[in-house]
Chain A
């Protein structure tokens, strides 16, 4: 027999989706950290081993994943500040939606130049030096 659905606390809109995004970006970053500490540990094996693995990060496809990682971490950081404000600031819950759109704006303002500098090398190697 299927279990009856429990009462839900999911309320939709900005509050719920920012919570979902916070979980997803946090979990993905944790998995990347696992790989990243191990790839850095290759400096204890040999300079060649380390340089070979780091070369995979310089590939255009991984370059896009890198942009995704930085975007995820930046969102998690900014939304974390919002969560702290909701928890500790007496008016935090009242302004949680406005704070979400504020951090989304800051995220975009930081990502636009960030993406440019991260993709600069890949773009110039594909389309020639512009």
Chain B
């Protein structure tokens, strides 16, 4: 009976592992995030540009009082906060892809991405803090 012993064949198309951390779906989720955040940003950013740059004199009428008037309303606070986070993550992920595409040396890639992530943290923390702590009576 032992002559029919099953041969030891490897499973076909065994999955490659990437790096030391193994396989992950990060790139799939980042691809999906770009499309979903992009759709929301079309609404938020084009609305922002239309109000700030085109409508009623555009940039000419913008000053501290104008900003104070807008951020008196929770509607525009939420709008700007959502726009800040989505734009920064969407743009940061886009730059991450560009760095991965063009920076061939490992050390170059690591340094460029470190600078990118540091700038993203700086902008997200600063921007969030400004929206939450805005004081219209500052002197």
Q: In chain A, what residue has the closest Cβ to B137? A: A47
A residues in contact (CB < 8 Å) with B: 23, 26-27, 29-30, 33-34, 37-38, 40-41, 43-44, 46-47, 50-51, 54, 57-58, 63, 66, 70, 73-74, 77, 80-81, 83-84, 87-88, 114, 117-118, 120-121
Shortest beta-carbon distance from B102 to chain A in Å: 10
Q: Are A44 and B84 in contact (CB under 8 A)?
A: no
Q: Are B63 and A118 in contact (CB under 8 A)?
A: no
Supposing A27-B95, A121-B58 touch, asked if A44 and B133 sit within 8 A by C-beta, the answer is yes
Contact of A114 among B54, B63, B94 (CB under 8 A): B54
Q: In chain B, what residue has the closest Cβ to A57? A: B59
Residues of A within 8 A of B6 (CB): none
B57 within 8 A of A: yes
Q: Are B138 and A44 in contact (CB under 8 A)?
A: yes
Q: Is the interface of B mostly helix, strand, loop or mixed?
A: helix
Q: Are A37 and B63 in contact (CB under 8 A)?
A: no
Distance A26 CA – B116 CA, assembled complex (angstroms): 15
Residues of A within 8 A of B46 (CB): 73-74, 77
Distance A30 CA – B99 CA, assembled complex (angstroms): 14
Q: Which of A70, A81, A87 has the most CB of B within 10 A?
A: A70
- 22 pairs, CB–CB < 8 Å, chain A vs chain B: A23-B98, A27-B98, A30-B92, A37-B123, A38-B126, A40-B127, A40-B130, A43-B134, A44-B134, A44-B135, A44-B138, A47-B139, A51-B63, A54-B63, A57-B59, A73-B45, A74-B49, A80-B35, A83-B35, A87-B35, A114-B54, A121-B58
Q: Are A118 and B53 in contact (CB under 8 A)?
A: yes
Q: Are A118 and B54 in contact (CB under 8 A)?
A: yes
Contact of A41 among B53, B57, B64, B130 (CB under 8 A): B130
Shortest beta-carbon distance from A2 to chain B in Å: 13
Q: In chain B, what residue has the closest Cβ to A38? A: B126
Shortest beta-carbon distance from A35 to chain B in Å: 10
Shortest beta-carbon distance from A120 to chain B in Å: 8
B42 within 8 A of A: yes
Q: Are A37 and B84 in contact (CB under 8 A)?
A: yes
Q: Are B49 and A70 in contact (CB under 8 A)?
A: yes
